[in-house]
Chains A and B, each alone.
Chain A
Amino acid sequence: MIINHPILGPRDAQEFVYLGDANLMGRPDGMTAGIEAFHDYLYNRDNPAGAHRELWYHEQGDRSWLVVTRNTVTHEILKVEMARDVARAGGRSK
């Protein structure tokens, strides 16, 4: 499987470490969001047969975090973004 790194170009997936669902980036505010939202964030994951947004870490490269949109049925990679760009686009500044 080849992951097309936005900066470094096509790289073997073996260079990366898989973390999981990209929704992990959207942690609710533990002070205001309430226990239900936090429980959902911590324990509940969708398991789609199809497009899935995932966090991948370029361990054997520049050590950047990526958001990879992958079809879990065909393993086709539909989109690769820098995780920090996704976070900033989502209104996060840190």
Chain B
Amino acid sequence: MANAWKSLTALGQDTAQVVAIGPYQISERFDVALASLAVRRGQNAAFAMAAQTAGVPLPPASSFAAGEVFSAFWVTPEMWFIEADFASHQDITAHLKPLFGDTASITEQTDAWVRFDVAGTGLAALFERLTNIDLVSLPDGFASRTVIEHLGVYLIKRSATEVVLYGPRSSALGLLHALQVTAKSII
């Protein structure tokens, strides 16, 4: 049967959308798998050991840490979001569960979020209009949940010229619109 399933990105396309506005480049990413990882009560020591063995970084509050296979950012006490390459880790929970066993609760998050990589010079001017986060004073690797146009998003400052945003997938177009309008208002 010629009934091929066709996967779509969060923006409803079959390729990732890239928008360039002035110095800013906003790129949709769908090649990253995402899962939440939360420590089960009383399992902290065993959890930390499992993470170390598995090579899953557990960065402290408000920060991101890159690892070889898994990268992670802190979301709330005793909970992290884990990133991995989508091509090799499409079913990321199936990769993580054997590594952590009963020490953690792991939930698939890939399809709940849209990811935008925002790159360019002068990102502080963009994000000071969108959020209450002051990129200038914050270190590289800063990660925080914040709000853009009433949407709860995770923001990670990878460097002075690169910010990663995770927003609710069902509001992907709305979030992109907010980024575009704000970027256009600056240039």
Contacts and interface: CB of A to CB of B under 8 A. Distances in A.
Interface of A: 7-8, 12, 14-15, 59-64, 82, 84
Contacts of B132: 12, 14-15, 60
B145 A60 contact: yes
Contact of B62 (A8, A15, A84): A8
Contacts of A7: 61, 77
Contact of B77 (A15, A59, A60, A82): A82
Given A8-B61, A62-B61, A63-B145, 19 more contacts: A7-B61, A8-B62, A8-B144, A12-B132, A14-B132, A15-B132, A59-B147, A60-B132, A60-B147, A60-B152, A61-B144, A61-B145, A61-B146, A62-B75, A62-B76, A62-B144, A63-B76, A64-B77, A82-B77
A63 B146 CA distance: 10
A61 B131 CA distance: 11
Contacts of B77: 7, 62, 64, 82, 84
Contacts of A84: 77
Contact of B76 (A14, A15, A59, A64): A64
Contacts of A60: 132, 145-147, 152
22 contacts: A7-B77, A8-B61, A8-B62, A8-B144, A12-B132, A14-B132, A15-B132, A59-B147, A60-B147, A60-B152, A61-B144, A61-B145, A61-B146, A62-B61, A62-B75, A62-B76, A62-B77, A62-B145, A63-B145, A64-B76, A64-B77, A84-B77
